[in-house]
Amino acid sequence: MGRNQDNTANIRNGGPKLITARDIAAEVGVAISTVGRALADDPRISARTKALVRKAAEQVGYAGNTPARVMRGGASNLVGLILPDVRNDFYSEIAQALSETCDRAGHRLVLAITGDDRDVEARHIRELTSARASGVIIVPTASPRRESIKMLRGLPHVQLLRHLSAIGNIWFGINDEPALLEATQHLIALGHRRIAYLGGEESHSTGAARLRGFRRACVALGNSRELVTESLGPTTAAFGAFATERLLGLPKPPTAIVTGSVHITLGLIEAVESLGAEVPERVSVIGFGDPVWFQWWHGGLTTIRPPVQELATTCGLWFLHNLSAKKPPDTWTGHHSVANSQLLVRATAKRAEAVAARRTSARV
């Protein structure tokens, strides 16, 4: 009876036959242990035998036995990606790029969302450790639990975007400080003095760096620095909308706003549209992040674009290369890789004199 007929008969008897390593061994004419070693890319197995085993496994739909391999002390082919959220293009693009990179290398990306909650973060790390994940790529919370830090020390890992020295010294990040400096200088050059910054809290390394860039630019304002407003809070659209509504409701609202978060930018846009505030006629805006539709909002949102694709791909390739070397995580040497964000000047920032004239004519 052929294999297809055999499977058909098994379906009638309650389900299809489970293909095992024994079947692959019989098909190729090798020992069962050779099948396992060939599929694990063991250097003791010849390239010809590996190719024959893999071809036979593919033809019969052999999925392998990950639990058995884990029980024998091996690692799975899973790579954990721990993110605060995926509700914007910034993190979803990172997840997409890393998934593609892992897939090409024979690994599978497992997504875990923390909501920036360190208890949730600890649970995800514990589950990935129990599943014997090959490694973890993590955007850490501001203050991970000691349990999380301890587990990560025994697991190959790399920090992405945010960096905490307590977790380790392998980090792939973005240098946003120069871009925030340039964005704020751009507004100052346009004559703005009443400038507001909406950003994340300083407890995260990313929020602190972006705020430093803004403040560095504001030093040039001299006595006018008292007109500068900083609103720091959670990097959520709700906070962005609330802070924007409050600012635009002031007796002397800012003539320009710059943001330091994708979600906060989305909240600002929501508030601007809800209030019917004219951009850039009433307030100039510089956002953060660059989903495609930002190019269309009010003629094109002037914004800070992080090099997301470059960051994710570089991080994934470096991490997978080091995983393939099969070195214990405590022997990995420190590594920092930093890419720079870019200011994209479009239509939502104009000269302050034009904004002031518009407001005067509106009062008249």
List, for residues 313-359, the tens digit of each pLDDT value: 999 999 999 998 888 887 888 899 999 999 999 999 999 876 655 55
* Total-model pTM: 0.75
39-65 pLDDT, tens digit each: 777 788 898 998 898 888 877 767 555
Higher pLDDT pick, 237 / 68: 237
Contact at 8 Å (CB) between 83 and 112?
yes
Report d(CA 40, CA 77) in Å as an integer.
10
194-233 pLDDT, tens digit each: 999 999 999 999 999 999 999 999 999 987 888 999 999 9
Query: Distances from the Cα of 236 to the Cαs of 116, 123, 218, 289, 338, in angstroms?
Result: 11, 23, 25, 14, 25
Three-class secondary structure of residue 232 per DSSP: strand
7-22 pLDDT, tens digit each: 434 433 444 456 778 8
65-121 pLDDT, tens digit each: 544 444 344 457 899 999 999 987 889 999 999 999 999 998 999 999 999 999 999
Please give the distance of CA 31 from its chain centroid, rounded to a whole number.
43
pLDDT of res. 42: 78
270-317 pLDDT, tens digit each: 999 999 999 999 999 999 999 999 999 999 999 999 999 999 999 999
- Single-letter code of the amino acid located at 352: A
Which domains, from first to last, does the chain contain? 3-64 (1.10.260.40), 78-168+308-339 (3.40.50.2300), 177-306+344-363 (3.40.50.2300)
Task: Give the pLDDT band (50/70/90) at residue 134.
Answer: very high
